[in-house]
Amino acid sequence: MILVFGSLNIDLVAQVPVIPGPGRTVLAPSYRTHFGGKGANQAVAAARIAGPGRVRMAGRVGRDGFGDSAIENLRANGVDADLVVRADEPTGCAFITVDQAGENAITVASGANMTASAGELPAELFDSDTVLVLQMEVPVAQALEVARRTTLAAGTVVWNLAPVPERMTREIVTELLAVTDHLLVNEHEALDAADAIGLAPPSYEAAAADLARAGDLTCIVTAGAQGALAVTAEGTRLRAPAPRITPVDTTGAGDTFVGAFAAMISEGVLLQRALEVSCEAAALKCLKAGAQTGMPMRSAMGSLA
């Protein structure tokens, strides 16, 4: 069973002629509403690969229409949403403006996500078959507690260190590495994490090796068109190429990789194959617009045919 403990957001996207500066107002002809939050994104991606009933989402939404929609969307994508709790705070929301050149400015109101609690998860969730997926959009202390409970039950922890917090301390990274089996980062996140614990690697490849040794874990780095690199605690390096594509929209590609990777780990496949499948899933997502709407179903995956 794949358990995702993380964020659920509603994204409001407006196309504008120019991103407004302080004290300025611009008009947009309309706006689009999308489902988001890294936790929900990764849960949907995992469910589309693993299949209905294999993924459970835990987190918080508000007692509002956005919360209703977020839960309905999870269920429509085959994700068990019974562990999503209603909070007094509003559902998390991202306000996104995109200008004519494709540049964007994003303001995220975390809302109910900041009240997510490990204490709401029943003990029977955790056993040796549990694959826990975590990110950095809910309180770190709560995510760490869920990770510890998973580790004590001999489950597997997949932690996507994104987005990197503004103040990522040595203590946070050290505690995170201690309870993680698979650390997923991009090139910049790998370097930031290594820097936080006092290392100074010259490249993201070296950072991955340093983090793998420091945490006695496997570090996976996603590198866009360069594919993915995995480094084990023993120093073994595996690479998977990214399929050659002409991307339409890269939004959600990283979350798609994480969800597909969790699905493969839950099926017990070898690490090399997990990397290859995850790279394919992320590439297929880039061929369609939208984060969750572009995430591939298992039937579209050539590597899983």
pLDDT digit string (tens) for 118-140?
A: 999 999 999 999 999 999 999 99
Q: What are the φ and ψ backbone dihedral angles of 83, each rounded to 5 degrees?
A: -95, 5
Q: Which of 147, 152, 142, 88 is nearest to 120 (CA)?
A: 142
Is 40 marked as a binding-site residue?
yes
C-alpha neighbours within 13 Å on the C-beta side of residue 246? 0
Note whether 134 and 160 are within 8 A (CB). yes
Q: Give residues with Cβ within 8 angstroms of 138, minimum separation 6.
A: 5, 6, 7, 39, 59, 113, 114, 116
CA distances from 294 to 77, 162, 207, 260 (A): 12, 20, 31, 13
What does the pLDDT look like over 170-209, one tens digit per residue?
A: 999 999 999 999 999 999 999 999 999 999 899 999 999 9
CA distances from 12 to 31, 44, 90, 107, 141 (A): 6, 19, 15, 10, 29
pLDDT confidence of residue 157? 98
Q: What is the mean pLDDT of residues 141-157?
A: 98
Going along the chain from its start, the domains and CATH numbers come out as: 2-7+38-91+113-160+241-294 (3.40.1190.20)
Is 285 marked as a binding-site residue?
yes
pLDDT confidence of residue 305? 63
Instruction: Specify the range with the lowest mean pLDDT, choosing from 18-22, 102-106, 111-115, 254-258.
Output: 102-106
C-alpha neighbours within 13 Å on the C-beta side of residue 64? 15
Note whether 61 and 8 are within 8 A (CB). yes
Its pTM stands at: 0.94
pLDDT confidence of residue 2? 98
Is 137 marked as a binding-site residue?
yes
Note whether 8 and 92 are within 8 A (CB). yes
Residue of 64, 181, 210, 255 marked catalytic: 255
Is 65 marked as a binding-site residue?
no
pLDDT confidence of residue 13? 86
Is 37 marked as a binding-site residue?
yes
Q: Give residues with Cβ within 8 angstroms of 134, minimum separation 6.
A: 5, 6, 143, 146, 147, 157, 158, 159, 160
Q: What is the mean pLDDT of residues 25-50?
A: 95
Note whether 177 and 214 are within 8 A (CB). yes
Tell me the pLDDT band of 104, cut-offs 50, 70 and 90.
confident
Residue 1 has pLDDT above 80, yes or no: yes
Is 294 marked as a binding-site residue?
no
Average pLDDT, the chain: 94
Distance CA 23, CA 39 (A): 33
pLDDT confidence of residue 105? 85
Single-letter amino acid code for the residue at 269: V
Note whether 221 and 228 are within 8 A (CB). yes
- Whether residue 216 lies in the annotated active site: no
